[in-house]
Chains A and B, each alone.
Chain A
Amino acid sequence: EDKVVQSPLSLVVHEGDTVTLNCSYEVTNFRSLLWYKQEKKAPTFLFMLTSSGIEKKSGRLSSILDKKELSSILNITATQTGDSAIYLCAVGPYSGAGSYQLTFGKGTKLSVIP
């Protein structure tokens, strides 16, 4: 059974701090790892990491995949109150049916206080 564990479960920081969120996984035939941000609504896509793309960056957010350690980190620098959200990590294997089933972690709830 595929498994995704995120840590910490929750985190409170002050504006301007840098945070690192962790995701570890166990999946058969790993294909990719995805990060999503969820505020009080639907998850929105941040990054996808694969064997051929183990680092991604967008503005103050960056993510690295460590295939040897079966883990990934999501870094947010110079945090802002708008970064407050639940951050979800998901992984998926190759699927015989051709669709792409994701297994999600329970998320890390980040609260950024002024």
Chain B
Amino acid sequence: DAGITQSPRHKVTETGTPVTLRCHQTENHRYMYWYRQDPGHGLRLIHYSYGVKDTDKGEVSDGYSVSRSKTEDFLLTLESATSSQTSVYFCAISGLAGGSTDTQYFGPGTRLTVL
């Protein structure tokens, strides 16, 4: 168990509302990632973080922002949710001190539905 949790696990919201998803880790991994998973597309990287306050865009970052104010938390915000953002969102972590930086471990996922 890599010590990674996501909240909420399920959320239904309406178009145009802001939504924030939280990823929390307990093992001091340096790198954190947000992915979305959709049928026919597989897992796609939204944003990632390589340290506190250090973040960068992934493949599908439009409409999303992130923040990492402390090592253990990585927040994903949809400023104004759209139906195309209905998806399953996974957080992942890697880079435990003294261990491999390559292997990513995934959280349990958040199922988001935008009506």
Q: Is the CB of A81 closer than 8 A to any CB of chain B?
A: no
Q: Is the CB of A98 within 8 A of B50?
A: yes
Write the nearest CB–CB distance from A32 to chain B, whole angstroms.
5
Greatest chain A CB density within 10 A among B33, B43, B48, B101 is at: B43
C-alpha spacing A32/B94, complex, angstroms: 14
C-alpha spacing A102/B105, complex, angstroms: 12
A sample of 10 inter-chain contacts (CB < 8 A) reads: A42-B106, A42-B107, A43-B43, A45-B105, A90-B43, A99-B31, A99-B50, A99-B94, A100-B94, A100-B102
Known interface pairs A42-B90, A98-B50, A99-B31; A106-B42 also in contact (CB < 8 Å): yes
Majority secondary structure, B binding face: strand
Q: Is the CB of A106 within 8 A of B40?
A: yes
| List of A residues within 8 angstroms of B40 by Cβ | 106
* 8 Å CB contact of A88 from B43, B49, B54, B58: B43
Q: Is the CB of B45 closer than 8 A to any CB of chain A?
A: yes
C-alpha spacing A43/B45, complex, angstroms: 14
Known interface pairs A43-B43, A101-B58; A31-B106 also in contact (CB < 8 Å): no
* 8 Å CB contact of B48 from A36, A50, A101: A101
C-alpha spacing A99/B102, complex, angstroms: 8
Write the nearest CB–CB distance from B33 to chain A, whole angstroms.
8
C-alpha spacing A44/B104, complex, angstroms: 9
C-alpha spacing A100/B93, complex, angstroms: 10
Select from chain B the residue with minimum beta-carbon distance to A1. Answer: B59
Q: Is the CB of B48 within 8 A of A107?
A: no
Greatest chain B CB density within 10 A among A32, A88, A101, A102 is at: A102
Q: Is the CB of A105 within 8 A of B42?
A: yes
